Amino acid sequence: MTSHCMRLAVLVVFALALGTAPMAQPLPSAPADAERHVPAPSASYSLSYQSHLTVRADLTATNLATKRLKILAPAAIQPLSQQQLLFVEGMQTVDILEAFTEKADGTRIAVEAANIVTRDGASGLAATYARDLKQRTIIFPDAGVGDTLVTTYKWEIGHGPFPGQFFHSEVFARSQPITSAEVIVEAPRALDLQVSTTGTGLTDRSDDIGDIRRHTVTLAPGPYVPEEPRAVASIDRDPALLVSTFKSYEELGLAYRALALPKSAVTPEISLLADEITRGIVDKKAQAIAIDAWMKKHIRYVAVYLAVGRVVPNEAAAVLHNKYGDCKDKVTLMSALLAAKSIASEAALINLGNAYTLPDPPTLTVLNHVIVYLPDFDVYDDPTAGGAAFGVLAPEAYDKPVVRVSASAATLARTPAMRPQDHTSHSRTVLHVAADGSVTGETQESATGALAIALRGAAAAVQNLGSEAAARRVLQGFGTPGAGSFDLSHVAEPIDPADVQGSFVLDSKFRPPRLPGRAAVPFGMPLLTRPGNFLLPPRLSGRASAFVCYAGEQTEDIEATFADGFPMPVAPSALRIDKPLLAYRSSFKVEGRALKIHREFASRVTGQSCAPQVEAQIAGDLNLVWVHTHGGFAFVSPGQSPAASAPKPAQPVELARVVAADQKLRLDFLYSINPDCSSIGFSTVRIIEPPKNGRLTVENGAGFTNFPQGNPRFDCNKRRSDGVVLQYEPNPGFSGTDSLTVDVVFPSGSSSQRHYAIAVK
């Protein structure tokens, strides 16, 4: 089984380790991962693909495939002109039958044998080591725009990971510009091979030719759709072809059990170690916690796969001797240690990525990781998650289907969804602005659950770089350069909460704005992102795919004290948002010479796969949170009371509109532009009072400004500008009066409330 180390999407503000960016790759060469789609005008290449999979009665197979990649733009030349094919030595062989660059006039330039290179599939200290995984690289000659890179290869499959079973999958991602795709699957009818398509766009024609059943699977062309940020995995949303002899995931689990469970034998050495780890601990759950902590501290993660049975872990005794192992190995040793204390456990096969479904028929397409389930406590635990407390999973492991394997059975289950109160972070910063403007401060940060994993990961990065160097990078990342250091003494052990403290001195002195004016107040040196970030993904208008969303709570407290005689900030109005999916609350106080800021953000999503329409439900509020957490503060002269100068709540702007019955009305066009007529950005609109007899839509769009004559921007009225369009549509058959109220926050940070009185005639 292709297993993953836990890849936590760390929500750390800064990156301490530099690495190369992942190389843009075309359609993966391995047939198990083929991806398809038609090109849009913006696509830099197009792809056509054909393959013929022949499965024999003894479950050996041959896959003959041809793919054609046409280069449409210079950006595609570098990533496409070197193609990779991965195969498992001892289980598979790959022969390149033909490879050439086809010029626009039909001329073919063959790839020379010396330019087909075979090497190990992974290398480097942080890589996954697969001693039998090989990579064949094809280097195409003379590739340019308009050329087509053609590869025909034959894949011989001797046996799969499970004796007596066969499976194969191909995923046709919409983010690949495919012009055509056809896959033929042939197998003896007596084999009862399960062949199924998922998603939309695939047709499967089945024909019986004597004793052979042939499936011809064809992809209907569809639009090229670029990959969306934090979208669920392609297998969850795009067309896919799945082939398997397994009839159920329970059957797959039993096959894994037969190979893996015998490896978790309790040896005398393991029994003695379990007694040592739990010495003086009577409670069974406390014993399990101690064993989990020992595993995370003493058995490091190293993925080493051997040729015989890639789903088979090493013996528990061998893992203990080596003090390292992959996820399967670590689960095997932990299960043995638990068994030595009579604590039941099960291996749970799971996806540690963005896949949230188990498509049928069963394959290992989405099962790439193994964790532990403890039925006595109904707790899932991941011994590879070194920064996690007992029972805490990586964010991408929540709300996931699992195949649980015990000594007696294999069952389908699901990990729990995240609860906001279990995954929390709290940052408290106290800073002092001296009379000369110099700024010093301290930041204390604590976290629980998945956010504690991220904080411990950030602390490890601080250790690797060095406390002072890391502090400089964090402060620089926030636009407040300075010096500082961190105290990491309370973060090492995997026990929640995780705590980090830091102190800092900023390089630049704080300069108040020219009065009246606004200025930002520094917010310290937190290692994690600020409220409103990470839990929900970046905004993307018009999302087409479900996306990954996490539940949690983020709190920020800032207390800024200003020396006597220094101008003081004005406390802005508080903001409160209370919606089913998210909540935000802020408060601001000026007490004596101190400005006290409190912000709370909660993501309340009930599952970790959010439907695309959720984007529209949260976008406005999240944009408002961003403006509210990044905006500056107004300042007043020394001696003037900040409270007396605090802005009074503005009265709503009253606007009247008339619309014909059963017609749509462009209610308003909200814009914010520079003197040169360029757009500053899009406003954020929050609906305070929705219409009772109609529907309001809020969309980014274009329109004409309406500056009066004499205004420096009057000439901007002559051309279209970007902005936000408010459109009202009365309910069918309604006539009479309606109204609605919205809050508008402009890109400049200013805001207004607007009340529309609408006459429907």
pLDDT digits (tens, 9 = 90+) for 215-250: 999 999 888 888 899 999 999 999 999 999 999 999
Q: How many CB atoms lie within 10 A of CB 118?
A: 13
Q: Which residues, at least 6 apart from 466, have a Cβ–Cβ distance to it below 8 Å?
A: none
How far is 296 from 387, CA to CA, in rounded Å? Answer: 8
Q: Is the pLDDT of residue 558 over 60?
A: yes
Residue span of the structural domain in which 71 resides: 31-245
Residue 132: which CATH number?
A: 2.60.40.3140
Q: Are residues 564 and 661 in the same domain?
A: no
Q: Are residues 449 and 535 in the same domain?
A: yes
First to last CA, the chain: 67
Cα torsion at 711, 714, 715, 718 (round to 10°)?
Answer: 170
What is the pLDDT averaged over residues 593-618?
Answer: 95
In the prediction, which pLDDT does 519 show? 83
pLDDT > 90: percent of the chain: 65
Q: Are residues 224 and 341 in the same domain?
A: no
**pLDDT class of 520 with cuts at 50, 70, 90:** confident
Instruction: Count the domains in the chain.
Output: 4
In the prediction, which pLDDT does 16 show? 29
Q: Are residues 555 and 430 in the same domain?
A: yes
Residue 273: which CATH number?
A: 3.10.620.30
Per-residue DSSP letter, 191: G
- Retrieve residue 21's tokens: 């960016």
Beta strand 498-506 pairing with 552-562: unpaired
Q: Are residues 411 and 446 in the same domain?
A: no
In the prediction, which pLDDT does 448 show? 97
Q: Are residues 287 and 361 in the same domain?
A: yes
Most distant pair of Cα atoms in the chain: their distance? 97
What is the pLDDT averaged over residues 97-112?
Answer: 95
Cα 231 to Cα 155, 175, 236, 242: the distances in Å are 31, 11, 10, 21
Task: For tokens 């003896």, name the residue.
Answer: 188
What confidence tens digit (pLDDT) does each residue in 4-35 have?
443 333 333 332 222 222 222 222 222 222 23
Asked if residue 524 is part of any domain, the answer here is: yes
Residue 469, classed as helix, strand or coil, is helix
Q: Is the pLDDT of residue 303 over 70?
A: no
Q: Are residues 446 and 389 in the same domain?
A: no
**Of 358, 385, 416, which one is at a domain's C-terminal end?**
416
Asked if residue 10 is part of any domain, the answer here is: no
In the prediction, which pLDDT does 747 show? 65
Residue 306, classed as helix, strand or coil, is coil
Query: Would you put residue 43 in left (φ > 0), alpha (ψ -120 to 50) or beta?
Result: beta
Cα 76 to Cα 82, 149, 404, 626: the distances in Å are 11, 11, 43, 36
Mean pLDDT of the chain: 87
How far is 79 from 27, CA to CA, in rounded Å? Answer: 11
In the prediction, which pLDDT does 37 show? 35
For 339-377, give one letter per residue: b (16+ CB within 10 A) or e.
Answer: bbbebebbbbbbbbbbbbbbbebbbbbbbbbbbbbbeeb
What confidence tens digit (pLDDT) does each residue in 567-578 have?
889 888 888 999
How far is 368 from 478, CA to CA, in rounded Å? Answer: 37
Q: Is the pLDDT of residue 309 over 50?
A: no
Asked if residue 336 is part of any domain, the answer here is: yes
How far is 620 from 500, CA to CA, in rounded Å? Answer: 33
Beta strands (DSSP E) in 103-222 are: 108-110, 116-120, 129-130, 133-139, 148-157, 167-171, 178-188, 194-198, 202-209, 212-219
Give 154's Cβ-side CA count (13 Å radius).
Answer: 8
What confidence tens digit (pLDDT) does each residue in 361-377 have?
999 989 989 999 999 99
Query: Would you put residue 532 in left (φ > 0), alpha (ψ -120 to 50) or beta?
Result: left
Q: Is the pLDDT of residue 496 over 70?
A: yes
Q: Are residues 565 and 713 in the same domain?
A: no
Tell me which of 51 and 624 has the higher pLDDT: 51
Q: Are residues 230 and 272 in the same domain?
A: no
Q: Are residues 438 and 573 in the same domain?
A: yes
Q: Which residues, at least 6 apart from 718, have a Cβ–Cβ distance to it below 8 Å?
A: none
What confidence tens digit (pLDDT) does each residue in 324-353 have?
998 999 999 999 999 999 999 999 999 999
In the prediction, which pLDDT does 719 show? 87
What is the pLDDT averaged over residues 392-410?
Answer: 96
Asked if residue 20 is part of any domain, the answer here is: no
**Of 416, 448, 469, which one is at a domain's C-terminal end?**
416
What is the pLDDT averaged over residues 35-49?
Answer: 64
Task: For tokens 């188990």, name the residue.
Answer: 358
Q: Is the pLDDT of residue 122 over 90?
A: no
What is the pLDDT averaged over residues 282-305?
Answer: 90
Q: Are residues 672 and 638 in the same domain?
A: no
Minimum mean pLDDT range among 84-88, 170-174, 314-318, 447-451: 84-88
List the one residue out of 580, 514, 508 whose CA is nearest residue 549: 580
Cα 647 to Cα 592, 629, 640: the distances in Å are 19, 18, 14
**Single pTM value for the model:** 0.81
What is the pLDDT averaged over residues 672-686?
Answer: 78
**Of 220, 245, 270, which one is at a domain's C-terminal end?**
245
Range ranked top by mean pLDDT from 38-47, 289-298, 670-679: 289-298
In the prediction, which pLDDT does 647 show? 53
Helices (H), 51-187: 77-80
Q: Is the pLDDT of residue 651 over 80?
A: no
For 715-736, give one letter per residue: b (16+ CB within 10 A) or e.
Answer: ebeeeebbbbbbbbbbeeeeee
Residue 748: which CATH number?
A: 2.60.40
Tell me which of 744 and 294 has the higher pLDDT: 294
Q: Is the pLDDT of residue 697 over 70?
A: yes
Q: What share of the chain is helix, strand, coil (3-state, %, to 5)?
A: 20, 40, 45
Tell me which of 709 and 14 has the higher pLDDT: 709
In the prediction, which pLDDT does 19 show? 25
Asked if residue 218 is part of any domain, the answer here is: yes
Are 496 and 424 in contact by the 8 Å Cβ rule? The answer is no
Task: For tokens 């005008």, name the residue.
Answer: 41
